[in-house]
């Protein structure tokens, strides 16, 4: 994405807000969002508001497409899915105008959110700053469609699940201001409160910890939005649109008075499919070729395990279920050359403990694996980094295991 520019007098008073699908799910909630935005305008701010599609609109549109065509063309699917945000965007703008706020609704074409050509999973490359500033000079609120962009040759794209978060943080990076993300959850917790009601809410969390939690299943923020926030030093506030309860700030470093925890949080990512490729030749170029082809198809793979056995290599990795067909087609084309076989296994879940405190403390891995052993579980795959440990376990055992991990690490 283009570099952040210096702020003008208009930009100084701008706030970017994002409201998720549950926040705009019906007419009453849209009015509530309009009132929240209007309050900030009356406090002297200009507000750039990014909205998701209403409620389950995106899921319903995908179901409709698949009831018509088992494998919808991805370019046409993006054309369909972008209508969801346009509906909520227009309705929020109508509600704001009705209460006397100078607002305008805008889509990806109108502010030129330029993306890569990966349909259904595009990445933002740039946003037209001049257009943004022009609209901000003329209006107090810009209501902008999240989740979508356009290619250089003006085809509509979508950014993947959680893409509205990415849209909002990218806009804040461009405008040099804070970004507020509102949903039905009042901040970032050490664990999903729906799974573990005793979980603690964090007042602050670092970009690094939030990035790992988001990338491993926490639903509060999309991982790409955190990547952009870290790169451009955008402070992100996560709160609830249904209350004034204090939320969580995502920042570069914790305040000096706040002690860095050993483990910041634990996440659960369901619906993991394990892909295993057997009898590959012991050749690093072949492994590289497989992952290069996967990347070219715009497929994200997650946990990776590589085991050499004599003259052959066994490769395993995980993908989400909606990428299985793409992976299957790719492997059918690729592996026939090498005489290797592949299988899909599932359903699994990935549990991850995250904490920048792991850099300076030892014993987290042994404690984590001890809890897994006490639950009588043998992990399928284990991956680690400097600040996280992830395990792939049977999905039916994941929820109970996660609760035990929360208790063990006092989360």
> Is 400 assigned a ligand-binding role in the annotation?
no
Closest of 137, 195, 200, 172 to residue 49, by C-alpha: 172
Q: Report which of 356, 366, 350 is spatially closest to residue 386, judged by C-alpha positions.
A: 356
Consult the annotation and say whether 85 binds a ligand. yes
Q: 225 with 173: CB under 8 angstroms?
A: no
Does the annotation place 21 within a ligand binding site? yes
* C-alpha neighbours within 13 Å on the C-beta side of residue 100: 3
Q: What is the CA radius of gyration of the chain?
A: 22
- Residue 338, marked binder: no
Report whether the peptide linkage leading into residue 347 is cis, meaning its omega lies within 30 degrees of zero: yes
Helix (H) or strand (E) holding 57: helix 57-68
Cα–Cα distance for residue pair 297/123, rounded to 1 Å? 14
The CA distance from 179 to 55, in Å, is 22
160 is known to lie in a ligand binding site? no
- Give the separation between CA 188 and CA 193, rounded to whole angstroms: 10
Binding-site positions for substrate: 58, 85
Binding-site positions: 18-21, 58, 85, 189, 219-220
Binding-site positions for ATP: 18-21, 189, 219-220
């Amino acid at each position: 994405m283009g570099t952040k520019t210096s702020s003008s007098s208009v930009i100084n008073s701008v706030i970017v807000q994002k409201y998720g699908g549950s926040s705009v799910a019906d007419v009453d909630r849209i009015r509530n969002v309009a009132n929240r935005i209007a309050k900030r305008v009356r406090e002297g701010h200009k507000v750039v508001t990014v909205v998701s599609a209403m409620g389950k609109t995106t899921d319903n549109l995908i179901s409709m497409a698949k009831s018509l065509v088992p494998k919808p063309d991805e370019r046409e699917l993006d054309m369909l899915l972008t209508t969801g945000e346009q509906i909520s965007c227009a309705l929020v703008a109508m509600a704001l105008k009705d209460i006397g706020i100078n607002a305008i609704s805008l889509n990806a074409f109108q502010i030129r959110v330029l993306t890569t050509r990966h349909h259904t999973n595009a990445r933002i490359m740039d946003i037209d700053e001049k257009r943004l500033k022009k609209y901000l000079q003329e209006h107090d609120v810009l209501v902008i469609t999240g989740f979508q962009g356009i290619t250089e040759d003006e085809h509509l794209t979508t950014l993947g699940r959680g893409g509205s978060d990415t849209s909002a943080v990218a806009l804040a990076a461009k405008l040099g201001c804070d970004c507020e993300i509102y949903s039905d959850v009042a901040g970032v917790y050490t664990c999903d409160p729906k799974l573990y009601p005793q979980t603690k809410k964090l007042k602050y969390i670092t970009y690094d910890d939030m990035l790992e939690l988001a990338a491993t299943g926490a639903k509060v923020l999309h991982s790409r939005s955190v990547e952009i926030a870290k790169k451009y030093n955008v402070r992100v506030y996560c709160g609830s649109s249904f209350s004034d309860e204090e939320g969580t700030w995502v920042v570069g470093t914790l305040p000096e008075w706040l002690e860095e925890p050993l483990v910041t949080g634990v996440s659960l990512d369901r619906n993991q499919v394990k892909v295993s490729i057997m009898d590959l030749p012991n050749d690093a170029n072949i492994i590289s070729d497989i992952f290069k082809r996967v990347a070219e198809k715009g497929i994200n793979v997650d946990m990776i395990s590589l085991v050499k056995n004599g003259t052959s290599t066994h490769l395993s990795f995980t993908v989400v279920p909606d990428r299985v067909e793409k992976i299957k087609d790719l492997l059918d084309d690729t592996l026939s050359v090498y005489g290797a076989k592949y299988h899909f296994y599932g359903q699994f879940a990935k549990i991850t403990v995250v904490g920048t405190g792991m850099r300076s403390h030892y014993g987290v891995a042994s404690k984590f694996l001890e809890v897994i052993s006490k639950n009588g579980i043998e992990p399928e795959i284990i991956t680690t980094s400097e600040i996280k440990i992830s395990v792939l376990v049977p999905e039916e055992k994941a929820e109970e295991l996660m609760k035990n991990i929360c208790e063990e690490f006092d989360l």
